[in-house]
Structure 1
């Protein structure tokens, strides 16, 4: 299957995963234009997968349904996503034509956020970013950390396909937190090379994220020590470490 990120807005990605004939699932179409343009080049959407209700992830759905009225829309059970034709939650499966995705509940960024895992790909929305994670608008640190733990436990060769091109700024923060991490230094150079020619930094393997992403490394001595220094207090509990790390990131400026 062919994976294609369609750039949208300033830094969003609308993900498509298609077969040889051009049929494709479309993930988080925040605007319709990029999908309609891809359709002119032969893409035929067969389903929409929505991870959460934010407008930059669902704003294009109505226009796509106007073009393809019978398009199924798989989304979490949330009244803020009225276009859903099938509500999905933790443990459910999306099966349509040759596509199969397992649904994981990953609350934290929003209370009803889900991720889709299948065909070696993880569509993580705004829960897991490369070298980062989403802000907690509706969830608690414990919820978000549990969600990240669930994603980190997927197969190491899973390709992470998240909702935004935040990787370069996330790398700047990660290097402050974990400056002696050799894998992170290599990933940062790769990111700089990619962005210098406007290439996407995604997808990225989950193995790389587990090696480099500080939000997946709160149990390591290096990250725990850095967060404790920043907080001015020794932090032992992993939820406390994660919460302090997220607060540090919220106020970080490169």
Structure 2
């Protein structure tokens, strides 16, 4: 297994979707989007015919939780899967996440970890799959939620690109949604995702491609991002489902 610091970095890479030596990937290597209900702009009364801008603007600000699954692909190969339940719209995102390498990863490179995210700290331990899990290790946060991507803000940035970003209605996990798609430049991230902005500046990255699917509730139900990782094309896919009341999250005993 890999050292805990490496596993923790892997958690951050998948959850934050902002590291990984991001490089401008444009539209190259994009996988097909989920099945579209119309292939274009929604017609009045059709599934997913809501105004996505109004949905984002009127989204309920109350705290909620959702099941999150994040997959990282290197080229077309699935390498890492993260899953768990997260609380949103609170002072900072909190929750419990499990990170594991995919089945196709060579055994000598495989690892797993469990992370508890609190408002002021994270706790991470290795998982060995044989009942001898590692000790919890605590790490403080620079500031609450400083690294977690704001998916609603990404949706708004795509909307700001104009009508070309609106790709019409599609269903995600059976939920009608509107897909937004485009390429985001470095400067647009300055106030929305400072961590990614700083990394893009450090690596000379000008832009990257991403898609966001927004449900009528104004909540993001799917997010995709195309990057380069160590000179190889990579893709992050995040889905949100089973929305509900916030769940209790506490430090491990």
Indicate whether the TM-score tops 0.5.
no
Q: Which has the higher helix share?
A: 1
Give the TM-score taking structure 2 as reference length.
Answer: 0.26
Bigger RCO (CA 8 Å, 6+ sep): 2
